[in-house]
A and B are shown apart, each in its own frame.
Chain A
Amino acid sequence: MAEGQHKLAIFRGLLKFKSNQQKIWGVLIFLSIVTTIEVGLGILKPEVLMTSFLRMKLLNWIFILLTIVKAYYIAWDFMHIRDERSGLKNSIVLPLVILIPYLIFILILEADYIFDVMDIGFVSWNF
């Protein structure tokens, strides 16, 4: 791939880089900032974010969201998905985007059900 074939803009064209190397360092800085925010939140654990939202702490939702953001930039800019044809892009991303949420949905729902059974059941698990 020649230099001209790299797409050098990130954040939907908000930030444009002059060369591919510059883009790499830019993405590194962005990923480092996100990781620092994650670690900072994990250490501080602000009281505001400890409220429950959809049966999980708000803080945990933020962690998961930031993780997906990081994963997006690793795949798009380090693994050059941004530069691939849309056919290849879709055949990589779509199976994962469809299968993973499905697996999460069925297993977490089942786990929640088992928790209820063990919690309100007549069998003691703690003896």
Chain B
Amino acid sequence: MEVTTNTQVNERELWGGGAKPFSASYGKIMMWFFIVSDALTFTGFLVSYGFSRFKNINSWPIADEVFTHFPFLHGIDAPMYYVALMTFILIFSSVTMVLAVDAGHHMNKSKVTFYMLLTIIGGAIFVGSQAWEWKNFIKGEYGALETKGGQILQFVNLENDKRISIQDFAIGINSERKTHKSNIGLWYQNEKTLPKITVEEVKKGFLANPNLTIRTEQISENGQKTLLSRDEAIYKIDDATGVVEGANLIHNEYGNRLFADFFFFITGFHGFHVFSGVVINIIIFFNVILGTYEKRGHYEMVEKVGLYWHFVDLVWVFVFTFFYLV
């Protein structure tokens, strides 16, 4: 009878074909193959980002100038510190995950519970941070003008060589122009909310203040954005057709619109992965508490979601490099 029990225990680990390929379980291998295909999806995203960047290599936005916020430090230029912190949070939650897997190998239920909880908290903090990054990115900081060709004109105060917000120098003009709504027109059409400031107001303010000049998208030899002389700027500002404040999928005050598009798609896709990872982790967490895996005799499920969670961390390492560092 003892022999029969033994074979039964072994058979539970075998696949349908009566063997155990790579001496790994079915679920684990399928998780690995999912990760490989998902890695290729992210590769597609990141490489197309590289494509657009090399295509516009001399006018791409400089990440240090875009992501400058840190919570509770208003008006202080802190490029990258916050993303670096996010990276540490995610790496740390990866460590607690791998510790949970390790505790699972030792069938230590209370430790698995504790480490899973830490992992969930880390993941939640990360998703929250990303939402905050998005908020700042969408809201924008200085505002800019957009030209007919879709280029962005930003404004610099020559007195202190710092960027200046268009709201700070635009001079108000009383205008009859109102947001068109579908219920007041001849046609059942409406338009998006108009920016608070019009191009004319920015132009008027710009011409009135001789200390201002325009910063174009072009990157000069020393790796900085090109500043126009005052005369060039006065000539250039006539090309402006619209005011841009913040960023969305169509307009982007930081420069090339593709930059905003890729930012939303890549960090959004990654954030979605983190979010679903947190949800899966919560499910597994409750299963651990309920003792599901204790009854099953192994904590392999924790190992499988662990693989997914580490993969999310792995992708972030690349997103961090290509969006914020390079």
Interface residues of A (CB under 8 A from B): 1-3, 20-21, 24-25, 28, 31-32, 35, 38-39, 42-43, 50, 60, 63-64, 66-67, 70-71, 74-75, 77-79, 84-85, 87-88, 92, 95-96, 99-100, 103-104, 107-108, 110-112, 114-115, 118-119, 124-127
What 1/0 mask marks residues of chain B from 77 to 103 whose CB sits below 8 Å from any chain A CB? 001110010011001101101110010
Chain B residues, Cβ within 8 Å of A2: 105
From B50, B95, B149, B310, A107 is in contact (CB under 8 Å) with B50
SS of B interface (majority): helix
Would you list the 5 A-B pairs with minimal beta carbon distance, nearest first? A111-B54, A88-B22, A127-B149, A67-B321, A39-B84
Per the bound structure, the CA–CA distance linking A115 and B22 in Å amounts to: 47
Chain B residues, Cβ within 8 Å of A39: 80-81, 84
Q: Are B88 and A111 in contact (CB under 8 A)?
A: no
In the assembled complex, B248 has its CB within 8 A of some CB on chain A: no
Chain A residues, Cβ within 8 Å of B21: 87
CB distance from B106 to the nearest CB of A (A): 8
SS of A interface (majority): helix
A-B contact pairs, 18 of them (CB 8 A): A21-B99, A24-B99, A31-B91, A42-B79, A63-B321, A67-B320, A71-B317, A77-B98, A78-B94, A79-B306, A85-B23, A99-B43, A103-B44, A103-B47, A107-B50, A114-B55, A115-B55, A115-B58
Per the bound structure, the CA–CA distance linking A99 and B317 in Å amounts to: 19
Per the bound structure, the CA–CA distance linking A25 and B95 in Å amounts to: 8
From A28, A32, A74, A119, B314 is in contact (CB under 8 Å) with A74
CB distance from A107 to the nearest CB of B (A): 4
Per the bound structure, the CA–CA distance linking A15 and B84 in Å amounts to: 27
Q: How large is the interface on B (under 10, 10 to 19, 20 to 34, 35 or more residues)?
A: 35 or more
From A108, A126, A127, B54 is in contact (CB under 8 Å) with A108
Q: Are A79 and B307 in contact (CB under 8 A)?
A: yes
Contact A35 to B88, CB < 8 A, known contacts A67-B317, A75-B314, A103-B44: yes
Per the bound structure, the CA–CA distance linking A115 and B102 in Å amounts to: 50
Q: Are B51 and A110 in contact (CB under 8 A)?
A: yes
Chain B residues, Cβ within 8 Å of A74: 94, 310, 313-314, 317
Chain A residues, Cβ within 8 Å of B50: 104, 107-108, 111
